Amino acid sequence: MPDPQFKVGYQKGFEDGFEQGENSVERGLPGWFGTFADMMTLLFAFFVLLAAISTIDPVKLQEMADSTGKALGSKIEQDNAAQMEGEYERLNNLLEVKKALENVVEEMKQKLQSQGQAIEPPIDITTSPKGVTVNIKGDYAFPSGKAVMKPELRKLLIDEIIPTIKASPFMIEIAGHTDSDPLPPRLRKVYPSNWELSAARGASVVRELIKQKIKAKRLIAAGYGDWSPRGLDSLRFSDPNKITRETVLKYNSSSKQKERNRRIQVTFLRPSHHSAKAYEG
């Protein structure tokens, strides 16, 4: 039989060793870990807040994705594809639409330069969370105070813009804009305010697109009057309810600003704005 004293001494030594080992380790997580966890929680909350108050430009997002994909040697799959309405190169996403339209602007610049003209093309391209927009100078597109298209606008639509529309799957918004000057009395008999004039111009372009075989249910006619001047419409964090008449007048304070505000916008809408499949079938 084992010696009882040995058994007692063994048991005491075991318990003492266990206690010493337990006391040699701090209870709970290390002190620095709490600070680290707090920092990560605050960073997470910060980025969630940024995402909540921001609006995403789908074209810039696609540009970033494309550049990342190329850097990694991968091919990015294209979504929202639809059948073309003619023999045009397919434009499957808004980034491709933007590039095609920028090529149009560049070709117009080169043509004007070759003719010895120092003027800028009557169109420019912008992007926003809404989509890709072609801005067409209003003075180039319509006679003053009228909603009948000039021949120059019709030629621009047929030669440059309609082929891009037919090659893409996106809904199209045609929006008229004006400056802040009130219409003269003689025009108010036809258009009581800038709202009616801008909407009539948008509808006039829509009618031409339908005439050129663009499906009617792809098209939206809109009139913004003078309430979406250039500069103000690019402020992503603006609350429309806080835009006052004084704000609108501020962006119409010079003749140059007013000229820029008198415009037609052709916007290729991102699919979540209006479904790209809405016109299929």
187-235 pLDDT, tens digit per residue, is 999 999 999 999 999 999 999 999 999 999 999 999 999 999 998 875 6
Q: Which amino acid is at 199?
A: A
Who's near 267: CB < 8 A, 6+ residues apart? 130, 131, 132, 133, 134, 172, 173, 174, 175
What gap in Å lies between CA 268 and CA 127, rounded to an integer? 10
Q: Tens of pLDDT along the chain (281 residues)?
A: 555 555 555 566 556 665 665 565 556 666 677 788 888 888 888 877 776 666 666 666 666 666 655 554 544 444 443 343 444 568 989 999 999 999 999 999 999 888 888 788 999 999 988 899 999 999 999 999 999 999 999 999 999 999 999 999 999 999 999 999 999 999 999 999 999 999 999 999 999 999 999 999 999 999 999 999 998 875 654 567 778 999 999 999 999 999 999 999 999 999 876 554 544 44
What gap in Å lies between CA 247 and CA 105, rounded to an integer? 31
Who's near 197: CB < 8 A, 6+ residues apart? 145, 147, 176, 178, 183, 187, 191, 223, 225
The confidence score (pLDDT) of residue 139 equals 92
166-194 pLDDT, tens digit per residue, is 999 999 999 999 999 999 999 999 999 99
Radius of gyration of the chain from its Cα atoms, rounded to whole angstroms = 31
Q: Which residues pair with 137 in a beta bridge?
A: 263
Asked if 224 and 250 count as a contact pair (C-beta separation under 8 A), the reply is no
Backbone phi, then psi, for 137, in 5-degree steps? Answer: -60, 130
Q: Is the four-CA dihedral 27, 31, 37, 38 of positive or negative sign? A: positive
Q: Which amino acid is at 40?
A: M
Fold designation for 94-269: 60s Ribosomal Protein L30; Chain: A; (3.30.1330)
What gap in Å lies between CA 117 and CA 109, rounded to an integer? 9
Helix (H, G, I), strand (E, B) or coil at 88: coil
Instruction: Give which of 278, 150, 136, 151 is closest to 215, Cα–Cα.
Output: 278
DSSP assignment, residue 159? I
The confidence score (pLDDT) of residue 92 equals 87
The confidence score (pLDDT) of residue 280 equals 47
Who's near 200: CB < 8 A, 6+ residues apart? 147, 176, 191, 223
The confidence score (pLDDT) of residue 88 equals 52
Question: Which residue's entry shows tokens 């809109």?
Answer: 222
What gap in Å lies between CA 89 and CA 142, rounded to an integer? 30
Backbone phi, then psi, for 183, in 5-degree steps? Answer: -70, 145
> What pTM value is reported for the model?
0.71
